[in-house]
Structure 1
Amino acid sequence: MSANPSISYLHDEVDDSDKKCLWVFAYGSLCWKPGIKYKKSVKGHISGYSRKFWQGNTTHRGTDENPGRVATLIEESEGSVHGIAFAISEETAIPYLNKRECEMGGYVTRFAKFHSDKGQSFQVLLYIATSANPHWMGDASVSEIAGQIVDCKGQSGHNVEYLIRLADFTRQHFPLYDDRHLFSLEKEVLKELKARNIYVSNLMGTGEGCVTFIKKDTANPSGSRDGQPARFESFQHAAKIPGKTLRCLNL
C-alpha cells in the first residue's frame, strides 16, 4: 500500500440491500485507518455516548511500560458521537477487527443505532472499552491525559498522531460538531509540544494505510476540479492551533 493516504468516497444513501450488511461504526483510528475492505462508508452519529480518551493502549500507541491513551465510548444520555459507518464487504473483516480491537486493544462489542447525515438509521456494531479490561486508564484532567499522549508511542506510531488525525478528521467532516474533550486535548497537546520545542510533523508518521474520505461529486466523478486533484485537509491544519455488552463477535 502506498505511503500516501488513499482516497475513498463517502456515500449519501443507503438502500435496502445495504441494510442487510453488517455495519461497523468508526469513531477512533478506524475513521482514518480502517484496514478493511468495505462496500460503503457513510457519515453520521450515534446517540447516548460520548467519546473519551480513557482507554490505555500497550500495542499500537504505547507500550507495557508506558501505555498510550486512545478513544472509547462512555454512556451518556445526552451525548452523541460522530463518525463513519462501514458496510463490511468480506468475511475476513471481523476476524481482523476482533484481533485489532479486542485481542490487542481490550475492547468488547455492542450494537447501537446509527443516524446518517441524510436521516437514515440502521444498526451498527461498536467496539467499546469498559473499566473491566486491564488496559483501562479512566478519567483524568486534560493536562494529565495530554502529557501522557505526548510521552507515548507504539508499534503503529506516536500517540500524538492518533489524536491529531482524529481531531483533523472530525473537524473536516463535522465542522458544526464541537467535541470538547477531543479538541481540548488537541489544544493542550499542541501547547505541550510547543513548550518542548517538538514539531507535530515529526510525530505524524508516513501515512501508510491511511484513508482520506471525500464526498463524491456526481457531476464530477473523478473528484478533480479544473484538471487538479481533489483537495482535502491534513493534520497540518491542527498544527496551527494554539446496549448490552457482548464478547467479540466471530461472524
Structure 2
Amino acid sequence: MDRAVDPVILEDKVSESETKWLWVFGYGSLCWKPGFEFHKAVLGSVNGFARRFWQGNATHRGTFDKPGRVATLVEDSEEEVYGVAFAISGEAAIPYLNHRECEQGGYISRFTEFSSLEGETIKVLVYVACPRNVHWLGDSDIEEIANQIVNRQGPSGHNVEYLIRLAEFMRLHFPDKHDGHLYSLEQKVLSLVEARQMCLRTLMGSGEGCVTFFRKPSSRETSPNRARRNAEDRVETFEHTARVPGKKLRCLNI
C-alpha cells in the first residue's frame, strides 16, 4: 500500500530571496505529477507561448507504434500559458528531468520569464518540443487529436488521464483563465469516451505518483475567503466533467 503524504501548498508569489533558486516551469504533467523534490511551487504564467497537444509520446502515454499526444509550448506572441514554477531541490532533479523530458520525450530546455500571480518575475527553465524532434506529431484538427488520445496508452497510463488531469488542474487553480485548445480537446475526448461506453474511472488509473495540491490563500484575500478556499481548493475530483468519485493522491517517491 502506498504511503500517505502531506499535500503540497501552491503559492502565488516569489520572495526576493527565492529568486536565486533554479526554477522549472511545469505546464503539462509536471503540474500534477512532478516526480522530483522541490522547495516551493508557485502559480503563474509565461508569455509568448501557446499550449498545444502537438508532441508525440512513446515512452509514457503511448508506444512507438501508437504514440500518444502530450503538451508542448509553441511560440505565439498573443498567447499566455498558465502553470506552476517549481524551485528545484536536490541534485537529482535536473538529471531526472533531462532524462524524462529530453532523452525520452524529445524536448529541449530553454530559459524564459515567468510571472507569478502577484506580479513577481523570475527566470525559469522550460522544456519545449521542436518540430524537428522524432516524436513530433504537429497540428491536426481537434477531432483527430481527440481520437488519438482516446486510443492511446503507455507504461505510465492512458493518454486520457494525462489530458483530464491537466484540464482539471487548470480549471481549479486558474478558474478565470480559458485555454481554448485544452478545454475543447477535453470536451471532445469526454464525448468520445461516453459515446464508446468506455470506463473513465479505469482510464484515469489509480492516481499513484500524483501530488495533492492545495492553493495557499493570497494575502489580499479576507479571512472568510481563506476558509472557503481551504475547503474548496483541492485537486482531483473530476466531478463536473466525469462524475467519477474523487480520491486522495499520493506523492511519487523518487
- Which TM-score applies when normalising by structure 1? 0.88
What residue in structure 2 maps to residue 234 of structure 1? 237
Q: 1:49 to 1:236 in 2, by over 3 A?
A: same
Cα offset, 1:137, TM superposition: 0.1
Within 5 Å, give how 1:87-126 maps onto structure 2: 87-126=87-126
| Structure 1 residues 118 and 106, CA gap change in structure 2 (3 angstroms) | same
Corresponding residue of 1:245: none
Give CA deviations for 1:20-51 in whole Å, capped at 9, x if unaligned.
Answer: 11100000000000001111100000000000
Indicate conservation of the 8 Å contact 1:201/1:236, yes or no: no
Distance 1:120 1:229 in 2: 26
Structure 2: which 5+ residue stretches go unaligned?
Answer: 244-254
Shift of 1:238: 2.1
> What TM-score does the superposition give when structure 2 sets the normalisation length?
0.87
Matched to 1:21, the amino acid is: W
Residue aligning to 2:209: 209
Report the RMSD for the aligned CA atoms in angstroms.
2.4
Structure 1 residues 173 and 18, CA gap change in structure 2 (3 angstroms) = same
Once the two structures are superposed, residues 177-214 of structure 1 have per-residue CA deviations (whole angstroms, 9 ceiling, x without a partner) of: 11000000000001111110012111011111101211
1:17, CA displacement in angstroms?
A: 2.3
**Hey, what does 1:172 align to over in structure 2?**
172
Instruction: Give structure 1 stretches of 5+ with no counterpart.
Output: 241-251
User: 1:91: how far off?
Assistant: 1.1
User: Which residue is 2:196 aligned to?
Assistant: 196
Separation in structure 1 between the aligned mates of residue 99 and residue 211 of structure 2, nearest angstrom: 20
Cα offset for 1:143? 0.2
Q: Indicate the larger mover: 50-59 or 4-13.
A: 4-13
**Stretches (4+) displaced over 6 A:** none
Q: What secondary structure does 1:9 align onto?
A: strand
**One-letter amino acid of the counterpart of residue 210, structure 2:** C
Is 210-219 or 161-170 further displaced after alignment?
210-219
Residue 61 of structure 1 aligns to a residue whose secondary structure is: coil
Larger relative contact order (Cα-Cα within 8 Å, sequence gap ≥ 6): 1
Q: CA, structure 1 residues 6+114, in 2 after alignment: closer, same or farther (shift >3 Å)?
A: same
Structure 1 residue 8 and structure 2 residue 8: aligned?
yes
User: 2:173, 2:233 within 8 Å by CA — same for their partners in 1?
Assistant: no
CA distance in 2, matches of 1:6, 1:155: 26
What residue identity is the alignment partner of 1:7?
Answer: P
Q: Deviations over 1:128-164 (max 9, x none)?
A: 1010100000000000000000000000000000000
- Number of matched residues? 237
Distance 1:110 1:68, change over 3 A: same
The percentage of counterpart residues that share the same residue type is 55
CA distance in 1: counterparts of 2:150 and 2:133, whole angstroms = 23
> Quick one: distance in 1 between partners of 2:205 and 2:126?
27
Task: Report the Cα distance in structure 2 between the residues aligned to 1:190 and 1:93, rounded to whole angstroms.
Answer: 34
CA distance in 1 between partners of 2:102 and 2:132 (Å): 13
Does the 8 Å CA contact 2:13/2:43 hold for their aligned counterparts? no
